[in-house]
């Protein structure tokens, strides 16, 4: 029996607590059809196609029921999870190898796969196990050798025309079937839009746990368990998550948090072409079309040069000299959390524990003091230039080159010199 979830109508008060608790917004409050003896106007409706079966709605509704004096209301949501044979009391000795999911996007292998392979080799080395990569899509077998060259010992190729474009349900079923058959010990996915989207579905379907957006991973030699660390409470604390009783231990890994594994020409490995029976898969959603995001801004996670501003920028217009320098250097514009929280620049530019992790060749920081949360997101930059009036600030002290001065004087001067040398 597949996972299912439903609402008992006569117990639902339409209080909206479940909808607020849902992390994927799959619960809607709709107007009730009038029924005798039911005074409430709204009813919770759950979209099973979007539900990740995380139990958040059940917990909040049950808590309200425990507090309520009226025992005929709340406890309104029931979740039934698919039973997977042999998974409730897992014999961890039956599970081996460290797997990574190699993300494909529009026919292109995404470089986060090489970051995960480098990390997986480190983890597998501690365990004395092999590294395997899983690639899903249409005509994706051509990328197997590239994954082997970057560190994979085994590449599982799940190739089928129905997998040409990413669809949560299909990719989840394809990967889960392989997991249940091959029994990997650990599984790492990129904390990208795709990885985050179906990683949690895979964990639920495979009856295991997952740590989201991990920034540090290590193996405890004594227990052979994965210690996955991620920021918590807005980056003020770091939480280490363990999955003791279920396998595989899963984590989505923040892009750019780890270096890419080097390519080794001539490296050999095993390619396994996985048999696909797509007709057995349940599909309630379909891919319609892809529309690229409009705008010319460069993604900071892929940029080799970043010019970032913090509280010292002072206002939204204060980012203009940073944008001018970034344009002159053909780089991207970044920001600290303080600048984003102030509403001066959109969240997609935020760098740090609660934003993006970056690893550019050149990182220019203007008006950023260097809070630990920000440093954690950019400290792996090859060259760091800090511009700040305070010579004692943390970022000035750790920078490759520190400039004590007013950013509104220094940045235009640097930009003008660059344009002058280029004959602009």
**What is the dihedral angle through the alpha carbons of 345, 351, 353, 357, rounded to the nearest 10 degrees?**
140
Give pLDDT, residue 140.
Answer: 93
Task: For residue range 348-397, list pLDDT tens digits in order.
Answer: 899 988 888 888 999 999 999 998 889 988 988 989 999 999 988 989 88
The pLDDT of 332-360, averaged and rounded, is 90
Give pLDDT, residue 233.
Answer: 62
Kindly state the DSSP code that residue 351 receives in the 8-state scheme. B
Token match 């917004």: residue?
Answer: 25
- Averaged pLDDT of the chain: 89
Fold match between domain 4-80 and domain 92-278? no
Tell me if the pTM is above 0.85.
no
Give pLDDT, residue 86.
Answer: 46
Provide the pLDDT confidence category of residue 89 given band limits of 50, 70 and 90. low
pLDDT above 70 as % of the chain: 95
Give pLDDT, residue 329.
Answer: 92
Give pLDDT, residue 87.
Answer: 46
Q: Kindly report the number of other CB atoms within 10 A of residue 150's CB atom.
A: 25
Does pLDDT of 407 surpass 80? Answer: yes
Domain 305-421: which CATH class?
alpha beta
CATH number assigned to the domain covering 92-278: 3.40.50.620
d(CA 38, CA 15): 14
Give pLDDT, residue 78.
Answer: 94
Tokens of 257: 């948090």
d(CA 192, CA 335): 20
From residue 239, alpha-carbon distances to 3, 208, 227, 242 in Å are: 29, 19, 10, 10
The pLDDT of 320-349, averaged and rounded, is 93
Do the Cβ atoms of 402 and 396 come closer than 8 Å? yes
Pairing of the two strands 42-46 and 131-137: unpaired
From residue 32, alpha-carbon distances to 49, 57, 66, 129, 421 in Å are: 22, 20, 25, 56, 70
Q: Where are the domains of the chain?
A: 4-80, 92-278, 305-421
The pLDDT of 398-422, averaged and rounded, is 92
CATH fold group of domain 4-80: Alpha-Beta Plaits (3.30.70)
Closest CA to 256 of 139, 166, 379, 340: 379
The DSSP string of 254-297 is -TTSSPPPPP-TT---EEEE----GGGS--S-------PPPS-P
Give pLDDT, residue 82.
Answer: 66
- The separation between CA 30 and the C-alpha centre of its own chain, rounded to angstroms, equals 32
pLDDT above 90 as % of the chain: 58
The pLDDT of 1-12, averaged and rounded, is 86
Does pLDDT of 258 surpass 90? Answer: no
Task: For residue range 115-173, list pLDDT tens digits in order.
Answer: 999 999 999 999 999 999 999 999 999 999 999 999 999 999 999 998 988 888 899 99
Q: 3-state DSSP call for residue 146?
A: helix
The pLDDT of 248-274, averaged and rounded, is 91
Q: 3-state DSSP call for residue 223?
A: coil
Give pLDDT, residue 83.
Answer: 59
Task: For residue range 170-216, list pLDDT tens digits in order.
Answer: 999 999 999 999 999 999 999 888 888 889 999 999 999 999 988 89
φ/ψ of residue 181, rounded to 5: -80, -45
């Amino acid at each position: 029996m597949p996972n299912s979830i439903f609402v008992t109508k006569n117990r639902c008060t339409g209080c909206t607590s479940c909808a607020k608790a849902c992390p994927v917004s799959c619960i809607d409050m709709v107007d009730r059809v009038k029924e005798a003896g039911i005074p409430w106007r709204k009813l919770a409706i759950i979209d099973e196609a979007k539900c990740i079966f995380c139990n958040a709605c059940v917990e909040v509704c049950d808590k309200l029921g425990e507090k309520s004096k009226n025992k005929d209301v709340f406890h309104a949501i029931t979740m039934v999870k698919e039973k997977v044979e042999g998974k409730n009391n897992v014999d961890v000795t039956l599970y081996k190898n460290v797997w990574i999911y190699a993300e494909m996007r529009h026919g292109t292998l995404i470089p986060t796969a090489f970051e995960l392979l480098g990390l997986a080799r480190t983890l597998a080395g501690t365990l004395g196990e092999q590294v395997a990569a899983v690639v899903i899509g249409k005509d994706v077998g051509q990328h197997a050798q590239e994954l082997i060259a970057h560190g994979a010992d085994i590449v599982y190729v799940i190739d089928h025309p129905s997998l040409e474009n990413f669809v949560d349900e299909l990719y989840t079923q394809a990967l889960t079937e392989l997991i249940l058959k091959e029994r990997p010990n650990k599984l790492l996915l990129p904390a990208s839009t795709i990885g985050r989207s179906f990683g949690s579905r895979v964990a639920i379907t495979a009856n295991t746990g997952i740590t989201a957006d991990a920034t540090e991973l290590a193996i405890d030699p004594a227990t052979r368990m994965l210690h996955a660390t991620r920021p918590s409470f807005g980056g003020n604390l770091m939480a280490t998550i363990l999955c003791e009783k279920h396998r595989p231990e899963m984590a989505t890994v923040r892009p750019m948090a780890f270096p890419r594994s080097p390519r080794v020409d001539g490296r050999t490995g095993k390619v396994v072409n996985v048999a696909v029976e797509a007709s057995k898969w349940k599909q309630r959603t379909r891919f319609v079309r892809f529309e690229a995001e409009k705008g010319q801004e460069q993604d900071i996670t892929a940029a080799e040069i970043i010019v970032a501003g913090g509280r010292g920028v002072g206002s939204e217009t204060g980012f203009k000299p940073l944008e001018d320098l970034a344009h002159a250097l053909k780089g991207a514009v970044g920001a600290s959390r303080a600048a984003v929280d102030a509403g001066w620049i959109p969240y997609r530019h935020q760098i740090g524990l609660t934003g993006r992790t970056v690893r550019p060749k050149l990182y220019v920081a203007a008006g950023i003091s260097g809070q630990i949360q920000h440093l954690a997101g950019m400290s792996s930059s090859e060259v760091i230039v800090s511009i700040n009036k305070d010579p004692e600030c943390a970022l000035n002290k750790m920078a490759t080159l520190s400039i004590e001065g007013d950013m509104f004087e220094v940045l235009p001067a640097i930009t003008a010199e660059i344009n002058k040398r280029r004959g602009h």
